[in-house]
Chain A
Amino acid sequence: MKHLKIEQNCPRIGVFDFTGCEGCALQLANKEETLGAFLDAIEVVNFREVSSAARQDYDVALIDGAITRPDEVERIKAIREQATLLVAMGSCACFGGVNRQKNAYDLDAANREVYGDCPKETMPTMSVKEVVPVDLEIPGCPVNKDEIERVVQHLVWGLPLPSYAFPVCLQCKQRYTICRFDMGESCLGPITRAGCNAPCPAGGLGCWGCRGPAEAPNYDEFFALCKERGFTRQEIVDRLSFFGGFDISPSTDPWPDVNAVANEMEV
């Protein structure tokens, strides 16, 4: 099929929801001014939340949510079998999201606390890539529809996919938002991956790091800044551990400096 004399694909898309709020899937129906064009560019063949017709011949699977129960492991494996391209959409799919916070608790005790003597099946939260190979990750809580559109443009017209190696801080400056540090609040903007266009600082809330770390974040400088501004280690760890994108466990060391500097802050 050609559009403006350019060869275009019409990818068959399936949207699948696992453990989460389904807010990322909902974003697909947002940005109403381009919704018609968006739907014209793709063929939605499987999307339980909006359609009772479901086909299994999808090429692209968009995954919303984390994996938190054995039946979800089986479901995601079956989807992986079918999909040519599997996209983890949103922080839950990419990192486990807020669901990952649950892993810090004894799940049997948590179950008893919520369900009493009638416990429900659950297991520690996993991101999608902890279960099956993932081809593309779009983090965010929720994911930004602009970014989804760019992925679709990439699939349909072969346009290059922008990668956001730089941190949120840069996009914040681009929209002239007053720095949250200058407002007396801490903010993960200096170390978090951009691409969201920094809506939180613009709305009066420092970044909580929903998109995970930027490429090669300068943790040393960041922790030095936090310490200089009088924030406690606990305040920073509260944010780093919120969406599951930052690895802050002492036993793992993709960023050994984090723990070294964070521990230093404790003094």
Chain B
Amino acid sequence: MIKNLNVDVHHLARVEGHGNIKVRVTDGALVEARWDIVETPRFFEVMLKGKHYTAAGILTARICGICSIGHCLASVRATENAFGITIPETARKLRLLTKHGETLQSHVLHLFFLAAPDFLGLPSAIPLKDLNPDVFGVAARLKGLANRICDVVAGRTTHPVSIQVGGMAKLPDPRVLRELKAALENSTDDLNAAVELFTTLEIPQFERETEFVSLKSERNYAFIGGRLLSTDGVERAESEYRAMTNEYVTESNTSKWCKLSRESFAVGALARVNNNYHRLHGKARGVAVKFDLAPICYNPFMCNIAQLVECVHVVHDSIRIIDELLDGGPAPTQVEVVPRAGVGVGAVEVPRGILYHEYEYGDDGRVVRANCVIPTTQNNANIHFDMADLVVQYAAEDDMTDEKLELLCSMLVRSYDPCISCSVH
């Protein structure tokens, strides 16, 4: 059968920010398959110039409403590296704890509110409130728990206040930490329910070989700082992030594109699981096994499952961190900050992948030059090239229609959980 297919999505729904999908198959042959970012640019790198080091993290948190904690962490880390500051151990633990809170918040938001409706044949998660109050309750409770972690540790979930250059501005009350630990321990039923829900959903079978980039650490499942690693065998220091990202501008996108060993690469939960599978918490690895998720997985739709696996990991790792904080007792969370001229890079694994901030400072502690490379910026080319292969594979099916293809292409994009306003910044 000779087939013509057309998909034209203007401002795709259930993703953060504005992107368009355009697919055309004529007489059974692929003519075009495009993923274009049309978000308005905000010029954060320009606005950063002249900013005092105390303001850089406050400003860059505003790059993203979902991963503002990650941006703030990358920002203060870049500044601390530029100034040659080592933060106290307690601050390091608190930062990882609030990072876990954000990872859980963002993943639950994506899995239940953005991705799941496609698998359940719903336009949004709102009808679940009445159709399946149990599932809606699981999602609301897990997201509430995640936000609670961030509120307690970072002072606020969106646009944190306690993450500052030199450490953390406050040490949470031990009583509050104990409450948080109890809430985390009590969340296992909800996590199990989330896992059960996803075992009933049908993940599309599609693979395209690509390169996966993430942080790497010898000690743990890396989230804050470390070496940079790709599945094609490239390994670099944190400060060499430019060689790992190679940003370039394209005509039709307000987001830049990136490449490394191939025409594109991917970052995010799937990249982290692919690179650091053996450093996952045992319970999280158990979930991965349940879904046959093992490195190297080339199915982008499995990014959803990788996020689910990470939800389990961060809950268990958060309990460990709280135990250590409680055992450690009162301890300093900040060191004195003495600005100096220099350059620093901060790399942090935010929910959608590896994020880099780089600042050059003058003697006065004000930014001279700044550069931010965003996870979704690194993913956009990979999504674009995935789409062509996806369309070719599915267009060959006899019963393929415009509507079905639109859903598949939309689901592909959503699997990457793109943060589009972030990617343009």
Contact = CB atoms under 8 A, between A and B. Distances in A.
B42 A68 contact: yes
B43, B113, B136, most chain A CB atoms within 10 A: B43
Interface stretch (A96-104, A129-137, A155-163, A221-229): A96-104
A249 interface: no
A35 B42 contact: no
A163 to B, nearest CB: 23
Interface in A214-235: 235
B40 A122 contact: yes
Interface stretch (A3-11, A168-176, A195-203): A195-203
Contacts of A68: 40, 42
A141 B114 CA distance: 23
Contact of B161 (A18, A99, A204): A204
B1 interface: no
A217 to B, nearest CB: 21
A202 B155 contact: yes
A21 B164 contact: no
A44 interface: yes
Nearest to A234: B52
Interface string B117-145: 10000011110010000001000110110
Contacts of B113: 29, 50
Given A19-B42, A208-B58, A199 B156 contact: yes
Contacts of A21: 62-65, 68, 421-422
A81 interface: no
Contacts of A116: 249
A147 interface: no
B155 A110 contact: no
B336 to A, nearest CB: 12
Q: Interface residue tally of chain A, by bracket?
A: 35 or more
Nearest to A101: B47
Contact of B124 (A53, A115, A200): A53
A203 B41 contact: no
7 contacts: A22-B16, A52-B14, A101-B59, A105-B43, A203-B161, A205-B155, A205-B169
Interface of B: 11, 13-17, 40-43, 45-47, 51-52, 55, 58-59, 62-66, 68, 109, 113-114, 117, 123-126, 129, 136, 140-141, 143-144, 147, 154-162, 164, 169-170, 249-251, 254, 410, 421-422
Interface of A: 17-27, 29-30, 32-33, 35-36, 39-40, 44, 47-54, 68-69, 72, 97-99, 101-102, 105, 107, 110-111, 113-116, 118, 120, 122, 141-142, 199-200, 202-205, 208, 235, 238, 242
